[in-house]
Structure formats: structure tokens, C-alpha cells
Chains A and B, each alone.
Chain A
């Protein structure tokens, strides 16, 4: 009575065929990238020494290290974070705790999607037109970091809003019932309960910011500078732009050098991302409610 019919058999065959096909597609999506990363490790790995990280480029950037680019990227990322985290967290608090369901809120959401979707080179044009020229910051770390901050603002907003909304509504209601104001509730209940989620978003933003190239090309990053930046009004080198420059603009670079720079950049970005993911997962497991 319960024997498999021909249709059952056929369905099962199709099923397992499709399953294998889809798995193959998934693997084909991931495998090339892993192969490429392996090539980068093989070719770039030997280049990376303490010397490489801690000395300046020499002989017209064809040899030597990457110290100014590394320091420059740290400057750019730090200033961009200082600018975007307060604004991003405020925006997320508004969207999660205050915003009514009206056209303005929808417009804000659409604007956030678009800030993330506008091409990076358009952000660069904006940074040049607004910060460098109109606000007269010149090509400086400040102008470049502001451009990066606006570009990566959606990362902070989206992840912060998610972690704020994960705090149960009952927590807030209990606090309101004690006579606390909205801000007291946010300050003492909502933010402390979501701070680690917010940090996850910030780490993610660091990794996004460190890798961007186009937005800083015309706003504050220089091809080569013989000194380290002293203040936010100086120009600076940056890892991402340095990779572009030595792989396209400078002839006769030692073969392993660009691989080394690319590897440093990738390791930096992937470590940050992996940390953010690991952090998020441990939070999910630890969650008290």
C-alpha cells in the first residue's frame, strides 16, 4: 500500500539533482574567492614583515614599507567614526524610539537606503564640492573623513536600530511606569541593554571605512607623502589608495609589494568583520530574554 509510485521516484530524483546543483552553485560562488585569497596569501605573505609595516616607502614607492599609509588609514577611520557614530546612533534612537509611522519616517528610511546605494565616486564628488571647496577644509583628513562618515552612516544606523529594537517593549513600559522620562528610559534601560549590538555595528563600520578608496581620492588622501600627518588638516596616505597607486601608477614595483598591501588590507577588513560576526553570535546566545 505504501509502495513508492513512479511519480514519487521521479520527484525524488529531481529533488536530489536540484539539491546537488544548488549546492554546486553556492560552492562556485565561494570557492573562487577562497582560491584568490590563497594566491594573495602565498604571494603577499612573505613580503609582510615587521619592517614592511613599520618603515616608509623608498625608491619612488617601488620598495620599502607602508607605515605612512597604515597610520593614515587609522587617522581617517578614527575621525570618520567620531563624526558618524554620534549622528548614526542618534538617528537610530529616533527611528526606533520616537519616529511615528508617517511620511517623514519613510523619507528618512529611503534616504538611508540611498546613502548606502549612491556610488562611492558620487560621494567623492560631494566631498570635494562640499567639504573641500564650499566649507574650505581643503584636501585634508577632516574632509576625507567627513565624506567617509556620510557614506558609512547607514551601516551604523541600521545595525544600531536593530539592536535597539531587540530590547523588549516591556522593559521600556516598566521604566515609564516608574515615572521616568523617555530619555531616562533610553539612557538607563534601552542603551545599556543594546550597547554590545551597537558596538558590533561600529566594528562593521570600521571595516567598511578602512577599505574605501574612491571617496578619499580627491578629498584628503595623497599618492605619496614623505611625512606622517600631524593634524586633521593635513593630507595623508591611505592603505586602500596606496594599493591602487602602486599597482597601477608606479612602474617597477617589486612583484610581491602590491600583494603584501592587498593582504594587509584584506586581513584588516576580514578580521574586523569576523570579530563583528562572532560578537553578534555570542550575544545572541547569551541573550537573557
Chain B
């Protein structure tokens, strides 16, 4: 009998098991793509016309005589809400990250970080409810418009949702800049603001771009909050007070009413493929940005 006792075999078995655990993340992400594509494929191969899908605003999947699947209004809806959300939240997030990382320390920084982290925890359905019941009447009263469920509402809600995440990521990027850089600048007599703008921000540029990208991805994929706060009307918005409908919200609202395997059902999965591909690309881009920084440092 050789020396390979029970412990040797247990060790090998565990090595295989944890390897499977590690690889499972890859399997799951491939699984998501495969299963969503599997259900949507029937639509892509037989019914999908790219000109209609990306060029028409007529999303009428339930029409008996002539159903049409123009996703343009949905894409514009998602883009307008996400765009407004970023307009609101990017400056504030970067400002807050700068303040926490460069202008505050000790207890204050700690408390601000915890508050931001807690804000990020509020569930999206609660945000949607806030848009519906608090921001909606506020917009009607302040701007004197008939309906407060619109691009502005969803954009503000989404901005408030995305801001804590972007702040945390941006703050990480700023923290990753070595203190030696700051000390060198301070030794030359630079003020904190000069250090922040001339030294820290340029050095953390890629990480900050990645933080914003992940924020965009988050806004783009947000479902419940946008469904509840955007008004859910198919529309090419001309002002922030127009109701719009988002890609994600369309799936959430319509999937329950479709028959499994129907054209409409497969069309909704096709929207899912589009969402998957876009968010995957955004995450990939953010990852490349961050890794670029690491390699240089």
C-alpha cells in the first residue's frame, strides 16, 4: 500500500469541488446567454427585421391583424432615462467621492461612506414606489403638469439609485492612487484642491471612467423603478415631462401575459438578448479600463 491515505484523496476531491465552484460563475453567465437566446431564437430567425426593430416606434405585439415589433421608442426611452440619470448623478457622485476621499478623514469619512453604502441597499421596487407616490405628486405640483410619471421622474429616481454605487466605485478608484503622489505634490506647496485636480484625478482617470460606465450599466438594466416611475407609455420624448417606456420595463410588464412559445413571448426574449449584449459590453469595457490602470501602476 502506498502512502496515499484518506487525507490525500479528500484533498484531491476538495480541489475538484472548489474548482467546479469557481468555474460555475462562467457556466452561469454562458447559461444565461444560452437560455435567453434559446427562447428568443425563433423570433430572430423567422420574424425579426432589423429595419423595423431599430427603426420603427410601433411596438404592437398584441395586434391581431398585424403585430409589429418596432423597439426604437423603447430604446430611446431607456436611453433618455439613463441619460438624464447620469446627468444628475455623475457630477454629484464624483463630487461626493472627491470629498470623502480627499477632503475628509477619520470619523467623518467613515460615516459618509456607511451612509452611501446604506443608500445603495434600498431595493429597486421601493425606489419605484417612491417615484410613484412621492416624486410624482411633487413634479405635478412644482411644474404644473398633468402627469408626473415621466423621463424626469424616472431619471431622478434612477440617478438617486445609481449615485451611491458610482460614489463607492469612484472613491475606490481615488483611494487606489498612491499616497506618495499626494505627498510629493504637497511638498511642492500644492493645496488640497490642486492635488485633487492636477494629481489625483488624472491618476485615477480610468477607474473613474469605469465607475461611470458601471453606473450607466446599472441604469440601463434597472427594471422595477423605471417601470413604475416612467409612465410606461410608448413615446419618443420631446421634453423631460413626456412619459416613456423602457426596454426592461416592457419585458417585466408584458411577459406575464404572453403564451409560452408565442411570437410575442419570443420577441420579449429578443429584447432580453439586446439587454444582455449591451450590459455585457459595458461591463467588459469597464473591466478593460480598470485593468489598464493596474498594468501601468
Contacts and interface: CB of A to CB of B under 8 A. Distances in A.
Contact of B99 (A25, A243, A244): A25
A254 interface: no
B125 A213 contact: yes
A95 B35 CA distance: 27
A91 to B, nearest CB: 4
Given A26-B99, A121-B221, A121-B252, A240 B92 contact: no
A154 B26 CA distance: 12
Contact of A244 (B19, B222, B224): B224
A183 B255 contact: no
Contact of B167 (A29, A88, A99, A211): A29
Contact of A39 (B93, B134, B269): B134
B258 to A, nearest CB: 10
B123 A25 contact: no
Nearest to A272: B121
B32 A182 contact: no
A118 B221 contact: yes
Residue among A93, A126, A243, A248 with max Cβ neighbours from chain B (10 Å) = A126
A111 B280 CA distance: 10
Question: Which range holds the interface residue count of chain B?
Answer: 35 or more
Contacts of B93: 29
A36 B134 contact: yes
Contacts of B121: 207-208, 211, 269-270, 273
A186 B38 CA distance: 40
A139 B276 CA distance: 23
A212 B123 contact: yes
Interface in B167-206: 167, 191-194
Contact of B35 (A33, A93, A121, A126): A126
B151 interface: no
Given A15-B191, A115-B25, A122 B272 contact: yes
B158 to A, nearest CB: 13
Contact of A117 (B129, B221, B269): B221
Contacts of B252: 121, 124, 214, 217
B38 to A, nearest CB: 6
Interface in A76-108: 86-95, 97-99, 104-105, 107-108
B36 interface: yes
Interface residues of A, number: 91
Contacts of B275: 118-119, 121-122
Contacts of B163: 29
B125 A121 contact: no
Interface string B236-257: 0000000000001001100110
A47 interface: no
Contacts of A157: 25
B21 A129 contact: no
A114 to B, nearest CB: 5
Interface in A262-281: 262, 265-266, 269-270, 273-274, 277
Given A108-B22, A108-B23, A108-B26, A25 B134 contact: no
Contacts of A247: 128-129, 132-133, 228
B125 to A, nearest CB: 4
B8 interface: yes
12 contacts: A11-B191, A25-B91, A30-B115, A33-B122, A89-B21, A105-B22, A111-B29, A119-B275, A125-B35, A128-B39, A130-B35, A134-B35
